[in-house]
Amino acid sequence: MTRSSRGAAAAALALALAGCRPAPAPAPAPAPASAATPWPATPPGFLPADPAHAWSFPRDHFARPGYRNEWWYFTGHLTTASGRRVGFQVTFFKVGLLPSRPTFASAWSSPGAVMVHAAVTEPDAGRHRFAEVIWRDAPLLAGLGAAPGPRVAWAQAPPGTPGRWTLDLDGEAWRLAVRDDGAGLALDLVAASARPPVLQGPNGYSRKAASPGFASEYYSQPRLAVAGTVTLDGRAEAARGEAWLDREVGSSQLGPGQVGWDWFALRLADGRALMLYLLRRADGAVDHARGTLVAGDGTPHPLAAEDLRVTATGRWRSEASGATYPSGWRVEVPAAGLSLDVAPEVAGAENRSRLLPGLAYWEGPVRALQAGAPAGEGYVELTGYGPGGRLPL
């Protein structure tokens, strides 16, 4: 996974080899690299992120063979017909295990897996629920589509729930559908934007460390108009709102010494949008930071580490995972006149995997104030805060 390595390759390998049963234990974190054994930015056989990639849409909305990790990361805020506020996350991950499909003659030979995370946060009820699936990229289980589509990615629903979890693209409109009867949630949403994607970093090349090669090809659609149906505990309601899509492609891992990241995606009330990420070391210090401020007309303005400041203003401890996360932040971009107080809508918005032991991270909706006045909304993701530090990936 990251937004430098958001894939769960090692854990997914255990699942794939075991027929997609839960792995018995989290994979150990890699030992720090030494000068004699340099930390590999790209595993052998996989393609590195390309700073000169020739972007083309809609082609690049679809899966890109040869890369280890890809994801389609949707987060947003909805209001139902009855006035309930709902935050949602739906993420489709491609997890590469091998650079190419094995050559032995079997339709079930697979180069990787498809993992999907879905979460719904209800601010007024103070409730957060999480659902997940992970299946081999194989017939009847999961797969990835190709242009012209419309199917982008799919996976079987969790055991006990009929159907599939799907991501489709119809013209400029995304359609995402997930359902987990055990978690009591279902989403059937259409999200569309009239603006072209925003490239994050020069030509969409997003560096995640000072060392070369630790990077992804990254674009966002910060303002997707969303409409559809939200079903919670069997009660279906029409809902409307706005969402953010992050799409990343790459093969790199976290950089040397990095254990996790803090990621912010904020849609500001004045029409701008702010994305920023902080990659952290084990001692909590920021190892690498970057961001993008998107103007109201969609023009991106890159931000270097010295252009931004993020200060935690509170803490929340998860009794379930033992992780202590920052909970509330002061986010400042002085040159842009931004000094935002960002607060989570629900403190306990932690996603804890039952399929990949040791995988837990915080992801939830937030609100922003400037000088005490409402200034925007968005999502924050926090990883690497658990007792084990670096995720078992």
- Residues 308, 291: contact at Cβ < 8 Å? yes
- Residues 306, 262: contact at Cβ < 8 Å? no
Amino acid identity, position 55? W
Contacts 24+ apart (CB under 8 A), 281-289: 281/257, 282/257, 282/389, 282/390, 287/209, 287/210, 287/255, 287/257, 287/258, 288/207, 288/208, 288/209, 288/210, 288/255, 288/258
Query: 3-state SS of the chain?
Result: CCCCCCCCHHHHHHHHHCCCCCCCCCCCCCCCCCCCCCCCCCCCCCCCCCCCCCCCCCHHHCCCCCCCEEEEEEEEEEEECCCCEEEEEEEEEEEECCCCCCCCCCCCCCCEEEEEEEEEEECCCCEEEEEEEEEECECCCEEECCCCCCEEEEEECCCCCCCEEEEEEECCEEEEEEEECCCCEEEEEEEECCCCCEECCHHHEEECCCCCCCEEEEEEEEEEEEEEEEEECCEEEEEEEEEEEEEEEECCCCCCCEEEEEEEEEEECCCCEEEEEEEEECCCCEEEEEEEEECCCCCEEEECHHHCEEEECCEEECCCCCCEEECCEEEEEHHHCEEEEEEECCCCCEEECCCCCCCEEEEEEEEEEECCEEEEEEEEEECCCECCECCCC
Distance CA 346, CA 252 (A): 32
Least confident stretch, 64-73, 102-111, 163-172, 377-386: 102-111
The answer as to whether 68 is a domain residue is yes
Q: Which two tokens stand for residue 248?
A: 């990343």
Q: Which of 298, 261, 290 is nearest to 381 (CA)?
A: 261
Q: pLDDT at residue 303 above 90?
A: yes
Around Cβ 234, how many Cβ atoms within 10 Å? 8
The answer as to whether 34 is a domain residue is no
Distance CA 119, CA 178 (A): 10
* Partner residues linked to 129 by β-bridges: 120
**Looking at the 3D structure of the chain, how many domains does it have?**
1
Determine if the pTM surpasses 0.85.
yes
The answer as to whether 241 is a domain residue is yes
Amino acid identity, position 334? P
Q: What is the CATH number of the domain that holds 369?
A: 2.40.370.10
- Parent domain of 120: 9-24+50-100+107-382
Q: What is the pLDDT of residues 244-280, one digit of tens each?
A: 999 999 999 888 889 999 999 999 999 999 999 999 9
Q: pLDDT at residue 31 above 80?
A: no
Q: Quote the pLDDT of residue 388.
A: 60
The answer as to whether 306 is a domain residue is yes
Q: What is the pLDDT of residues 114-133, one digit of tens each?
A: 999 999 999 999 999 999 99
The answer as to whether 344 is a domain residue is yes
The answer as to whether 40 is a domain residue is no
| Stronger pLDDT, 27 or 189, i.e. the higher one | 189
The answer as to whether 119 is a domain residue is yes
Question: Considering all CA atoms of the chain, what is the largest pairwise distance in Å, rounded to the nearest integer?
Answer: 64
Q: pLDDT at residue 25 above 50?
A: no
Q: pLDDT at residue 281 above 90?
A: yes
Distance CA 88, CA 180 (A): 14
The answer as to whether 126 is a domain residue is yes
Distance CA 77, CA 121 (A): 9
Distance CA 247, CA 73 (A): 6
Q: Give the mean model confidence (pLDDT) for residues 4-20.
A: 38
Instruction: Give me Rg for the CA atoms of the chain.
Output: 20
